[in-house]
A = this chain, B = another copy of it.
Amino acid sequence: MIKRTNKMTIMFDKKVDKKQGSIRIKSEMKILAAASDEFILQGYKGATVQSIADRAELPKANVLYYFKNKENIYHAVLEKTLDMWDQGIGDIVYEDGPRLAIEKFIAAKVKMSFQHPNASKIYAMEIIQGALHLKEFSRTYLRKWVKEKAKIFQQWIDEGKMEDIDPVKLIFLIWSTTQHYADFETQILSVMNRADYEEEDQEQVTQFLTEFVLRGTGIK
């Protein structure tokens, strides 16, 4: 079970804050990046420590030297993912008013999807599989966040600044449409007959979604 903290804290079993560790940090980053790819491609069980080691270009035993076991690696990856999710969530504040708030929010989420698709994918897989490791996160942190932001939307609705729609469903709509470009990247590219996203895609998607949602919410 993952708990939220202010700073990213990978759970070491060893003393962390020893003066040195530059090698440690570097190796750990390589391992986590490799692990992230492997977990997405193969799933938790499917990703072998060996495959992670190969991808990180380290011997297996060395990987196990830094992370006691596979579960630990996965936890660290999840921790990193949640941290990114936090950062990329954008902030909705009353003072911005509905238009600016939504523009910022969508832009942040789209950026996140295009810049860090892996984080989005890992997160999505966790949820689909039943969110065993994220139950606590959803139940507390996320629920609170949604409640808080829904309240702000409701204020705007009461002030006649936007249509009277369910703010929670609106939040889900924005989450789903933006994350879709990360999670379903393969399908989207395949359908559009393209090999990779290009610079302008992120921009176009942001613009499309922003305009669409502004119309959908009736914000002038």
Whole-angstrom distance from the CB of A144 to the nearest CB of chain B?
9
Interface contact B190-A172, CB-CB below 8 Å: no
Copies of this protein in the assembly total: 2
* Any B CB within 8 A of the CB of A142: yes
Interface of A is mostly: helix
Interface contact A208-B176, CB-CB below 8 Å: no
Choice from B45, B134, B191, B212 contacting A43 with Cβ under 8 Å: B45
Interface size grouping (class) on chain A: 35 or more
Whole-angstrom distance from the CB of A163 to the nearest CB of chain B?
7
* Any B CB within 8 A of the CB of A188: yes
Choice from B45, B181, B191 contacting A138 with Cβ under 8 Å: B191
List 7 A–B pairs whose Cβ atoms lie within 8 Å, in order of A's numbering.
A44-B46, A128-B186, A168-B191, A173-B212, A176-B177, A176-B179, A215-B218
